[in-house]
Amino acid sequence: MDIKSCLKQSYRDAADLAASYCMREDVLDKTLQISKELASAFNAGNKALICGNGGSACDAMHFAEEFTGRYRKDRKALPVISLTDASHITCVGNDFGFEEIFARGVEAYGKKGDMFFAISTSGNSENVIRAVAKAKGLGLKTVGFLGKDGGVLSGKCEYEFIVPQTTSDRIQEVHMMILHIIIEGVERQLFPENYE
């Protein structure tokens, strides 16, 4: 098969996965419920924390900046913190071990009533697993963005999206789509005028 045909198939595979997974009723219901809970958390003066490794760290930062900056239209900034600051990661990694980098961030910033979003394409990232445990211990509502079979994190969060794919690129594409739709859901509740 020539390269152009391979690339065309990759576009088709990505679109098919996104459509088949994201249009499932359970995925739509979870997206709506998480949007409602996050909007309520913001209204109550609470915040969200989010973390991930590698490409998922980039997705975490992307999610946070859409809230602290803007998504589609101007509105007030909303409190979402990505636990990906380089000085924090290198300090905690050096002093406590890489496995603790996100749990220490949750301990520093998290409080009951906040929400915690954990991204791990395998569901087996030890630093994300420990962060989920810390968040649950502090009373944060947890949301897992996972892939493959969900790994160790399967069943550990109140809400979870397990994208049934084997490659991280396809999993991350669907994760980011869902994260974007959650942002839209929050905005439609808090800033309906932006969608008139």
CA distance 43 to 53: 29
CA distance 97 to 190: 39
Per-residue pLDDT tens digits for 95-114: 999 999 999 999 999 999 99
- Arithmetic mean of pLDDT over the chain: 97
Per-residue pLDDT tens digits for 146-158: 999 999 999 999 9
What pLDDT sits at residue 140?
Answer: 98
Indicate if the pLDDT at residue 35 is higher than 80: yes
Close Cβ partners of 187 (under 8 Å, ≥ 6 residues apart): 71, 72, 75, 194, 195
Give the CA count within 13 Å in the CB-facing half-sphere of 24.
15
Task: Report all structural domains of the chain as residue ranges with CATH numbers, in order of start.
Answer: 3-195 (3.40.50.10490)
Indicate if the pLDDT at residue 1 is higher than 80: no
